[in-house]
Each structure stands twice: as structure tokens, then as C-alpha cells.
């Protein structure tokens, strides 16, 4: 994923005329969509914290990636009830859109022990079992100490069993086309780390922006089937560099100005389960 030159799009998009041209070109080649390939798989066990790379993922009908956004750090009272979890907007939680310093920490969640380990500059600064009261208290104290200026109230580690603290009320899988990221690089003339987009699945092989024409289509990855349900409207979180935690770009405004739409990536719902892995082909049915 680090060598993205092969995906760089050679067109510079701007204005309504180009937007309509792109739409027509993509529609005309829908019937000849080339197979894509999975280039990266990631999950985000704690909302707003760092991604975890995966080699394989077992997908289940109507579910997110396992443990994706399983936890969140409440930023001020949200009314969230773990016994009866209900979706809440991301503004109730610590998140990259407002709290970019989160990107300065590296985290790892162990599914077997439920232990979250937080590192800063390679050193462990906190580690605790997120399913125990004592462990949650440890993590809450860490954020109370290190993010005091970001907090609207006492931080609280939230978990709702099978609940997902994703940005969409539905349990979906997010997909990014690396060729579209390369097109953005061309627009702004600087490298763009694809991890800014915090997707679950990164793919190569489709032309830039081809994913916009796939809403309503079904994607086959081995035995798994995913239905594309919507494009992803981007927020200011993608302006944050995941390596440096610096808010150094203005990607949403560039997308709006150059494409006429502030979108990049697609959401898909798992319609049939199966195990997917790096290098697997993705075919539009």
C-alpha cells in the first residue's frame, strides 16, 4: 500500500464539464468492470484510535468487521446505555475529526484477553482489559490525564456487546479504491496516506472513482457477497495525517471544488458470509 505511484490517475478533475464526462465514462464501462484485488484489510476496535492491519477477515451477514468500532470513549454524557445500546452521532465520542492528537498513539486489541495496549513513541503508556471494570477505569484515567483539554466531561469507556460505534447507524463495511486516493494526490500534488480514510477494505484494480457507479451492485469475494449501499461523505478526519497526527490537508474542500461532491469510498452491507484475505479478487456481479 505504500507504493501508490502505480495507481496515480493522470487526469486532473475540475468543474461540471469534467464531472459529467467522468460520470458518462464510468457508466459506459460498467459492463466491463475489471476485477479488483484486496490490497489491505483493517479494523478499528476503539473508535478514533489507530487501525489494526489484518491478513484475513471472517465476514458475517449484516455485521461489521469483527470487533470494528466495538468500543468508544465517551466525551461528555451521551445517554448511551450498554444494556440497550442505541446509535449516537460521533460528536458524543472522542474522534479524529476534532481530536487529532488521538492519531499520535498506536493501539492493539487482543480478542482473546480483551486487553487494549496503547503506545506512544514505541513505549507502552497504558494496557487494560476493556471488559473489566478495573480495566475500563484504567483507560478512562489515561484519557482524563492526557486529553483533559479535549474533554467535555469525564471520559467513559463504552461497550455495548455486539454494538458498533460506527459513523453509520447500520453495520457496514467501508471500502476505499486506491486509484481514487491516487487521483486525490494528483489534485493536491502531495502524497496521501490511504489510511487517512480509515476504511476496512482497500482495493486496487478499478479506475479512479469507479466505485461511485456501483451503488446498488453486489460484490463477490469468494463465498462472501456485499451489496454497495451508499457512497461515503467525508469529514475533517481525513485532513489528519495518521503518522504525524498533524492536521495538514484540506481534502473535503478539494473534493467539493474539483469533483462537485465531498465523497470518497463506499459503504457495503454483508449479504453472504465468508472469509476474505489480502490478494483476493473482487468481482462486480
Task: Identify whether 191 is part of a domain.
Answer: yes
Which among 129, 159, 189 is the end of a domain?
159
pTM of the model: 0.87
Using pLDDT thresholds of 50, 70 and 90, give the confidence band for residue 24.
low
Q: Which residue has the higher pLDDT, 34 or 11?
A: 34
235 lies in the same domain as 185? yes
Q: Residues 25, 18: contact at Cβ < 8 Å?
A: no
221 and 80 fall within a common domain? no
Looking at the structure, tell me whether residues 138 and 191 fall in a common domain. no
- Are 138 and 182 in a shared domain? no
Of residues 30 and 258, more confidence is placed in: 258
Report pLDDT for 34: 80
Same-domain pairing of 27 and 75: no
- 118-129 pLDDT per residue, tens: 999 999 999 999
Of 159, 190, 213, the residue that ends a domain is: 159
Instruction: Give the pLDDT score at 1.
Output: 43
Residue 101: give the domain boundaries: 70-159
Do 277 and 178 reside in the same domain of the chain? yes
Q: Both 174 and 34 in a single domain? A: yes
Provide the pLDDT for residue 23: 53
Burial class (CB in 10 A: 0-12, 13-18, 19+), 54: middle
How much is the average pLDDT of 12-21? 46
Together in a domain, 142 and 174: no
Looking at the domain assignment, is residue 226 inside a domain?
A: yes
Residue 106's Cβ-count burial label (10 Å; 0-12, 13-18, 19+) is: middle
> Both 153 and 76 in a single domain?
yes
User: Taking a C-beta distance cutoff of 8 angstroms, is the pair 159, 130 a contact?
Assistant: yes
Residue 55 falls inside a structural domain = no
Give me the number of domains the chain comprises: 2
The answer to the question of residue 116 being in a domain is yes
pLDDT digits (tens, 9 = 90+) for 101-142: 999 999 999 999 999 999 999 999 999 999 999 999 999 999
Cα 214 from chain centroid (whole Å): 19
- 240: domain CATH number is 2.40.33
Which regions of 76-142 does DSSP assign to beta strands (E)?
Answer: 106-110, 115-120, 123-129
Do 150 and 188 share a domain, yes or no?
no
Same-domain check for residues 213 and 231: yes
237 and 267 assigned to the same domain: yes
Amino acid at each position: 500500500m505504500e507504493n501508490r505511484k502505480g495507481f496515480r490517475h493522470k487526469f486532473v478533475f475540475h468543474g461540471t464539464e469534467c464531472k459529467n464526462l467522468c460520470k458518462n465514462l464510468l457508466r459506459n464501462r460498467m459492463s466491463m468492470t475489471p476485477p479488483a484485488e484486496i490490497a489491505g484489510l483493517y479494523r478499528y476496535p476503539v473508535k478514533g484510535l489507530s487501525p489494526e492491519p489484518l491478513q484475513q477477515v471472517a465476514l458475517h451477514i449484516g455485521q461489521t468487521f469483527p470487533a470494528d468500532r466495538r468500543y468508544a470513549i465517551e466525551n461528555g454524557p451521551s445517554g448511551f446505555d450498554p444494556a440497550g445500546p442505541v446509535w449516537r452521532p460521533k460528536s458524543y465520542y472522542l474522534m479524529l475529526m476534532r481530536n487529532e492528537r488521538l492519531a499520535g498513539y498506536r493501539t492493539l486489541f487482543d480478542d482473546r484477553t480483551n486487553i487494549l495496549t496503547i503506545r506512544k513513541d514505541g513505549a507502552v503508556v497504558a494496557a487494560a482489559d476493556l471488559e473489566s471494570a478495573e480495566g475500563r477505569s484504567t483507560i478512562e484515567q489515561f484519557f482524563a490525564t492526557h486529553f483533559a483539554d479535549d474533554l467535555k466531561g469525564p471520559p467513559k469507556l463504552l461497550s455495548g456487546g455486539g454494538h458498533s460505534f460506527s459513523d453509520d447507524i447500520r453495520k457496514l463495511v467501508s471500502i476505499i479504491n486506491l486509484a481514487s486516493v491516487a487521483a486525490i494526490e494528483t489534485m493536491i500534488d502531495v502524497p496521501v496516506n490511504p489510511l487517512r480514510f480509515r476504511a476496512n477494505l482497500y482495493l486496487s484494480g478499478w479506475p479512479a472513482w469507479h466505485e461511485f457507479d456501483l451503488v446498488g451492485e453486489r460484490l463477490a469475494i469468494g463465498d462472501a457477497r456485499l451489496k454497495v449501499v451508499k457512497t461515503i461523505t467525508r469529514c475533517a478526519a481525513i485532513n489528519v495525517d495518521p503518522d504525524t497526527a498533524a492536521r495538514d490537508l484540506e481534502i473535503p474542500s478539494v473534493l467539493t471544488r474539483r469533483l462537485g461532491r465531498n465523497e470518497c469510498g463506499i459503504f457495503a452491507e454483508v449479504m453472504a458470509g465468508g472469509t476474505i484475505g489480502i490478494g483476493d479478487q473482487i468481482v462486480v456481479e
